[in-house]
Each structure stands twice: as C-alpha cells, then as structure tokens.
Amino acid sequence: MSAAPLPRVAVIGNPNTGKSTLFNALTGLRQRVGNYPGVTVARKSGTCDVGGGRLVELVDLPGLYSLAAVSPDEQVVIDVLLGRHAGSAPPDAVLVVCDANNLLRNCFLASQVAELGLPAVLVVNQADVARERGMDIDTDLLGARLGVPVALVSAWRGEGLAEVRRHLAAALAGGARLRRVEWPAAVAESVAEVAAAASRDTGKPVPAALAQRLLFDVSPALAESLRWGEAARAPVLRAARERVRRSGMNPPAAEALIHYGRLRAELEGVVRGASRPTRTAAVDRVLLHRFLGPVAFAAVMLGLFWSVFALAKLPMEAILAGVDWAKAAAAPRLEATPMLQSLVTDGILGGVGAFLVFLPQIALLFLLVGLLEDSGYMARAAFIMDRLFGWCGLNGKSFVPLLSGYACAIPGILATRTIEDPRARLATAFAVPFMSCSARFPVYALMCSAFIGPWHGPLWESVAMVGMHLVGLLVAVPVTFLLTRVILRVRPAPFVLELPRYQLPKPRDVLWRVGQSVWEFIQKAGTVIFALTIVVWALTYFPRDTEVAERARAAALAAGADEAKAAAVAQASLVESSWMGRMGKALQPAFDPAGFDWKLTVGVLASFPAREVIVSTLGITYALGEETGADSEQLREAMREATWAEGPRAGTRIFTLPAILALMVFFALCSQCGSTVATLAQETGGWRWAAISFVTMTALAWLAAVAVYQVGTALA
C-alpha cells in the first residue's frame, strides 16, 4: 500500500438513478439501495479497482436534482464537491450517474457540475429498462456533445462496469471535463463580482463555481453556510442580479433556461426509438385511485403489521426453546459456583436471550418495509398521506421516517434528512421516537401473554397488542400538532416528491438490507444489551447479605412454609437488599401512583439506556434463583403471584389490569433509548432538542401511566 491518499471520485446524480447500486457494484460494499428518492442521506466511501490494481476512493453521495441545495442531504453533496469537509480537498474526478430514461433532466445536473471544472465520466444507468422500452441511446454522440466519455450501464445487472473503470482511470490521468455552457457576458461579469466580494468578506477564496451558485440560488442556505452575512451580501447580490436583469434575463430563472436551452439542442438525436410507457401508469390508476387507493393503503399497512406478528410466531418460539435449552444445559454444569451460575443463566442467557427472541420480528419488519420500498410504493404512500400529515405540520416525506420508526427510531430519524423544511424535519424527528419500535415489543408481548391472554382470551390479547402499537402514534399527533403549530410555527412547506417507476422488488437488495439490520441487532445484543444485562444482574446480586436471607428463610419456615417456599422467600430478600433493590425502593414512591412496585421501578430505571432490558430485569427481580432461572413461563408465573407486601394495598395483586396497562403505556411513550437520544442530538445539531424530547416523552409516559392506573383502578 502506498502512503499517498487514493485519488477520490465523487458519485453524484439525481435521486434514485442507481448511484448506490453502481457504488456497490464497483466497490463490493453493500450500501443501502431502494426505489425511493432519498435512500442515501450521508456520504460513504469505498475503494474501487480501476484496472491493473490501481485503486481509487469512491464516495457515494445522496441524490440531488440541482446544486441549488436546500435539504441537509443535498448540502452534503455540495460540501464534498467543494472540499469543505474538515481536512478534505475537492474530489479528483466526478462520476455523474444519469437515468437513461430521463436524460434531459439528469443532464441538467451534469451541466451545473461542469462549472466545477473537474474531470468527469458520465454513466447512463438503467440501460436495461431503457432497452426494454425500445429506447436506443447513442452514447458516442452524447459523449461528443458533452465532452466526456460516456458509459452505458446497467448497474443492477453489472453490465458496463468495465467501461466505467476504464473511463475512470483515464479521467484520473488528466481526463476530459464536461463542456461548459457559454454564459452571456453579463452573467460572467456578475459572477466575477460576487466571487471577489465574497472572498473579501469571508476571508476565504470563493471559486467562480461557488459564486455562480450564490448569484443564482434563491435559497440563502449556501451563503449562510459560507458565513457570508446577510448585511454584507445583500447589496453585492442585488447589484450583480440587477446587471443580469438589465441584459434581459430574470436572474433566478436564467440558469435553468440557459442550461435547458443548450441541452435540448445537445440531446437532439441521442435517444432514438420510441420510449414506450412503463406499466407504472396502469398500476397507479388502481393504487392511487380516489377510493381504491386509500383501501389499498390501509390493506398494505394492516397486512404489514399482521404478517410481522403472525409469521414471526414460530421462529420466536424456536428461539425461546433454544434459550431455555441452553439454560437447562448450563445450570447443572455451574452448580459448584452459584455466583457464576446465576450470572450465566439469569444474567447472560436470560437477558440476551430475552432480547434475541425479537430477531424474527425485526427481520420480518425490515423485509416487508424493504419490499414495499423497492417496489416504489413508499413514494405513493407519501403522496396519499401528505394531506393528513400536513394538518400536523409534517409532510408526505415524513411517512418513510415514521414507518421506519416502527422498526427502530434511529434509521427513522436519519431518514428525515430528505425533508427540506428545517422545522418540518425537526418535528418529524421529534415524532419518530413515539412510534412503537420493535424494542418495545417484548414488554407488550410479556404482559399480554402473561395476563391479558389468560384472563380475557386471545382476541383481547391481540387487541391489546395492536392498541399498544397505536398509543405512541395517537399521542404523537397532538404533541406534534402543538409543536409545529404553537411552538415552531411551521408554515406549510412545499412538498415536491418524485414518484419513481414501479419495479419488481429485487430480492438481493432487500435481503442485504434485512441481513444488515439483523446483524446490527445481533451486535447490539452482543455489546450494549449484554453489558447492561450484566450491570443489572450485578446490581441485583450484590451485596449478597446471606445473613438477611437466612433470617428470612427461618422466618418463613417458622410460619409453616415448606422448604422450597422458604428458599424462594430467602432469594427474594436477597434481591430486596441488593443495590438495585435499595434503589428501586427509594424511587418507588415516584412510580407508586402508576401502580408500580419497587421491582417494576427497578425495571423502569434499568431500561433507560435501552428499553429492551426490561424483560430480563423483570426476570432477574421476580424470579432470581429459581431452579432453571428466569425462563419466561416461570417469570409469568412469578408475576401472576406477586402481591403488595405493605402499604394500603398489602396482600392484593400487583399486576391488576390497570397496572399492566399503565406499565405498557409507560413503555410505549417513555424515551428509553440512549442511541435514539444521541441520534436526535446529532441530527438536530445539539442537545437541546434531544433533551426536550427526552423530558417530554418521559413526562408524558409518567402522566399517561398514572392516568391509566388511577382511572382504571377507580373504575374496577
């Protein structure tokens, strides 16, 4: 390996043209791809061999239609192209990816990129689709007109990659630049003027390409990111634009008119043959029909969640059985060292096992969402839902983040980057953690299967499960409404979304994505959850005051209990006198109005870093020391038996219907996920909104739990 950094090539192009697919094909990496404009929201590097062992660094970027960047994902591209990331220079070349089916529009971005004067290669992708539609693209002619080598590619099928590599190698060896448009003199002079003034005011050289953006862009986003103050830039830009206007052009419209005018001529004769319409229009006549459309939408959403629960049942039971088997196998071997036995069976197997059980569900959810996305339906769902979301100050583009939030809030929050309006984006990111992510599922499943099922039958069990998945959504609506209308005062922001062509989902892409999320989940189980489980176990195990246990045992025996019962009582007293037990007891009064005893309080406290920990914590606190550890049936049994030890409710059951509902509602609403809070802070540019989200969600969770318990108990 040479010490010199590899030459860098930026992959840019319109959204959904296949940049990430091409990137994956060239680098062998597995960036996420999907048939929705805005799948990639951050840059990602990989190395690619351009022939003869020559390596280059390829940078996959979010898609954009124009260098007049508005949303944060688009600004990422500008920053990379201008080399404004800390410690990085502009790329050595650009790979401009175009959709063969829409060359004119795709070449607009290429014309803008031409102004940067970087060596370039043009990729005309999705050639297979174009061919099927009867289009015949003359790449030599296109190359001659635009001034750079052109490769006809089907990134998905891997066709044309060798040509891309060859062209890239040539481009890096001092290759051709995209031909620039001839700007009228007035534009050229104005650009020079802006460049000089901006360089002077900001103290940093502002290249002509950047100055051109400042001249043309209506949105002040770029000027602000340069820290070119409003007061300094306004007179300069006004004068420069006035000059353009005097020469007979409307400055904000000039760029598009000039580029499109030239491209019309240059693309003449490049695409031959008819372009037959795709089946998309016919499918949309049904799926976006006034009456059938909403019906189809509801059916898709119901089908999605129903399948997640129905199909995951068997594999979940298999995993549970496996974990129980492992515990049963481990317990006798470790009998000689009770502490180690407890650590392995109660702590590690109990905790991590309880978490892994939800793997099938997560895999299924990602599979189904992936299939929907790759088919092209997500953009349609956004189209259908925009009006409803608009009432709460969000917009159609909030749909994908919110739906992803049902799997996990983190990808959901990241997906908000495609929303242009900063306040609508913030509001969406704020709403995402309310969606019932898959980590909340364990606690619902435990409570419903231990109590509601046996008490009221399977129908009510399902109703409760569905209801819990809706609680977050139902609370998020008024909260978001308040936030957007009263606090942020979001004005209805424009909503422009491209509707991609439908396609049959590509199994490879979807399965990659499922595999990736499953792997991430397993890693989380192996690291964060594993560590937290051990911490909880240790806090519950130590300090092991055997004297207290002995006294409790003797008291139980004296009261006429049998040997087994007395041992259990002794165990319970050990838990009670542990660090965690003391902590739970100290804080229990805060949760008393919600009907939580000190053990539940321990569970709630332990779940703040990651809510998945609740089930294993309850396993440890309610059933520690039972013969085979905290397997789920035993845990359910122990919870059903649990009664209040003291206070006005002494002797009555802890887990009454109101208490169970209160606990589930608490988990549905509470912000108990360190990674989500950190992601929110990262995406909203500071801890302020992360803190607001944490406090709001936790306070709402407590209030709702108290309300449910108090009202429920009063009615019962």
Footprint of another protein (CB under 8 A): 65-66, 68, 70, 101-102, 104-105, 108-109, 216-219, 250, 252-253, 256-257, 260, 275, 280-281, 284, 288-291, 293-294, 382-384, 386-388, 390, 396, 492, 494-499
Answer with the entry of ligand GTP, Mg ion, another protein, none that 101 interacts with (C-beta below 5 to 8 A by kind).
Answer: another protein
Q: Whole-number minimum distance, CB 178 to ligand GTP, in Å?
A: 19
Residues sharing a CB contact under 8 Å with residue 536, sequence separation 6 or more, in sequence order? 347, 351, 580, 606, 613, 616, 617, 620
Answer with the entry of another protein, Mg ion, ligand GTP, none that 275 interacts with (C-beta below 5 to 8 A by kind).
Answer: another protein
Answer with the entry of Mg ion, another protein, ligand GTP, none that 154 interacts with (C-beta below 5 to 8 A by kind).
Answer: ligand GTP
Q: Which of 671, 550, 542, 533 is nearest to 606 (CA)?
A: 533
Where do we find the tokens 């996305």? 373
**Which of 7, 62, 472, 658 lies at the binding interface for ligand GTP (CB under 6 A)?**
62
The backbone torsions φ and ψ at residue 15, rounded to the nearest 5 degrees and listed phi first, read -60, 150
Answer with the entry of Mg ion, another protein, ligand GTP, none that 386 interacts with (C-beta below 5 to 8 A by kind).
Answer: another protein
Answer with the entry of Mg ion, ligand GTP, another protein, none that 592 interacts with (C-beta below 5 to 8 A by kind).
Answer: none
The backbone torsions φ and ψ at residue 650, rounded to the nearest 5 degrees and listed phi first, read -50, 135
Give DSSP secondary structure letters for 272-339. Answer: ES-----THHHHHHHHT-TTHHHHHHHHHHHHHHHHHHHHHHHHHHHHHHHHHHHHHHHHHHTTT-HH
Considering beta carbons, is residue 60 or 421 the nearer one to ligand GTP? 60
Return the range that interacts with ligand GTP (CB under 6 A); candidates 9-17, 281-289, 471-479, 485-493: 9-17
User: What gap in Å lies between CA 460 and CA 396, rounded to an integer?
Assistant: 33
Considering beta carbons, is residue 43 or 166 the nearer one to ligand GTP? 43
Considering beta carbons, is residue 175 or 390 the nearer one to another protein? 390
Q: Return the bridge partners of 125, or none.
A: 99
154 is an interface residue for ligand GTP by CB under 6 A: yes
Return the range that interacts with ligand GTP (CB under 6 A); candidates 28-36, 205-213, 553-561, 571-579: 28-36
Return the range that interacts with ligand GTP (CB under 6 A); candidates 33-41, 165-173, 256-264, 299-307: 33-41
Pairing label, strands 8-13, 55-60: parallel
Mask for 359-388, x = binds ligand GTP (CB under 6 A): ---------------x--------------
**Which of 156, 377, 399, 596 lies at the binding interface for ligand GTP (CB under 6 A)?**
156
**Which of 7, 8, 10, 38 lies at the binding interface for ligand GTP (CB under 6 A)?**
38
- The separation between CA 215 and the C-alpha centre of its own chain, rounded to angstroms, equals 35
Return the range that interacts with ligand GTP (CB under 6 A); candidates 148-156, 296-304, 640-648, 689-697: 148-156
Q: Return the bridge partners of 13, or none.
A: 97
- Which residues of the chain form contacts with Mg ion (CB under 5 A)? 19-20, 39-40
| Residue 161 in tokens | 């990659």
Nearest 10 degrees: CA dihedral of 98, 102, 105, 108? Answer: 30
Q: Whole-number minimum distance, CB 139 to another protein, in Å?
A: 18
Q: Which of 669, 609, 614 is nearest to 601 (CA)?
A: 614
Q: Whole-number minimum distance, CB 388 to another protein, in Å?
A: 7
Q: How far is CA 574 from CA 527, 549, 579, 625, in A?
A: 28, 6, 10, 10
Mask for 453-482, x = binds ligand GTP (CB under 6 A): ------------------------------
Considering beta carbons, is residue 160 or 293 the nearer one to another protein? 293
Give DSSP secondary structure letters for 384-423. Answer: HHHHHHHHTT--GGGHHHHHHHHH-HHHHHHHGGG-SSHH
Q: Check: CB of residue 581 under 8 Å from CB of residue 540.
A: yes
Where do we find the tokens 């029909």? 289
Q: Check: CB of residue 635 under 8 Å from CB of residue 622.
A: yes
Considering beta carbons, is residue 91 or 376 the nearer one to ligand GTP? 376
Residues sharing a CB contact under 8 Å with residue 618, sequence separation 6 or more, in sequence order? 446, 599, 600, 603, 635, 639
Answer with the entry of another protein, ligand GTP, Mg ion, none that 108 interacts with (C-beta below 5 to 8 A by kind).
Answer: another protein
DSSP label at residue 8: E
Considering beta carbons, is residue 506 or 599 the nearer one to ligand GTP? 506
Considering beta carbons, is residue 77 or 270 the nearer one to ligand GTP? 77
Q: Whole-number minimum distance, CB 436 to another protein, in Å?
A: 25
Q: Whole-number minimum distance, CB 419 to Mg ion, in Å?
A: 17
Minimal CB distance residue for ligand GTP: 63
Q: Whole-number minimum distance, CB 39 to ligand GTP, in Å?
A: 4
DSSP label at residue 89: P
The backbone torsions φ and ψ at residue 116, rounded to the nearest 5 degrees and listed phi first, read -75, -15
- The separation between CA 505 and the C-alpha centre of its own chain, rounded to angstroms, equals 20
**Which of 27, 112, 125, 577 lies at the binding interface for ligand GTP (CB under 6 A)?**
125
Answer with the entry of Mg ion, ligand GTP, another protein, none that 489 interacts with (C-beta below 5 to 8 A by kind).
Answer: none
Considering beta carbons, is residue 374 or 631 the nearer one to ligand GTP? 374
Other beta carbons less than 10 A from residue 553's beta carbon: 21
Other beta carbons less than 10 A from residue 36's beta carbon: 26
Q: How far is CA 480 from CA 154, 414, 415, in A?
A: 43, 18, 18
Answer with the entry of ligand GTP, Mg ion, another protein, none that 129 interacts with (C-beta below 5 to 8 A by kind).
Answer: ligand GTP
404 is an interface residue for ligand GTP by CB under 6 A: no
Q: Return the bridge partners of 374, or none.
A: none
Return the range that interacts with ligand GTP (CB under 6 A); candidates 152-160, 200-208, 250-258, 543-551: 152-160
Q: Return the bridge partners of 643, or none.
A: 653
Q: Which of 436, 437, 432 is nearest to 483 (CA)?
A: 432
Q: Which of 572, 341, 316 is nearest to 442 (CA)?
A: 316
Q: Whole-number minimum distance, CB 12 to Mg ion, in Å?
A: 11
| Residue 120 in tokens | 């370039």
**Which of 9, 12, 16, 411 lies at the binding interface for ligand GTP (CB under 6 A)?**
16
Considering beta carbons, is residue 65 or 537 the nearer one to another protein? 65
User: Within 537-596, which residues bind ligand GTP (CB under 6 A)?
Assistant: none
Pairing label, strands 44-49, 55-60: antiparallel
Cα radius of gyration rounded to whole Å, the chain: 30
Answer with the entry of another protein, Mg ion, ligand GTP, none that 293 interacts with (C-beta below 5 to 8 A by kind).
Answer: another protein
Considering beta carbons, is residue 85 or 285 the nearer one to another protein? 285
How many angstroms separate the first and last alpha carbons of the chain? 74
**Which of 20, 71, 540, 607 lies at the binding interface for ligand GTP (CB under 6 A)?**
20
| Residue 316 in tokens | 């979940």
40 is an interface residue for ligand GTP by CB under 6 A: yes
Considering beta carbons, is residue 85 or 279 the nearer one to another protein? 279
By CB under 6 A, name the binding residues for ligand GTP. 13, 15-21, 33-35, 37-40, 62-63, 125-126, 128-129, 154-156, 374, 506, 509
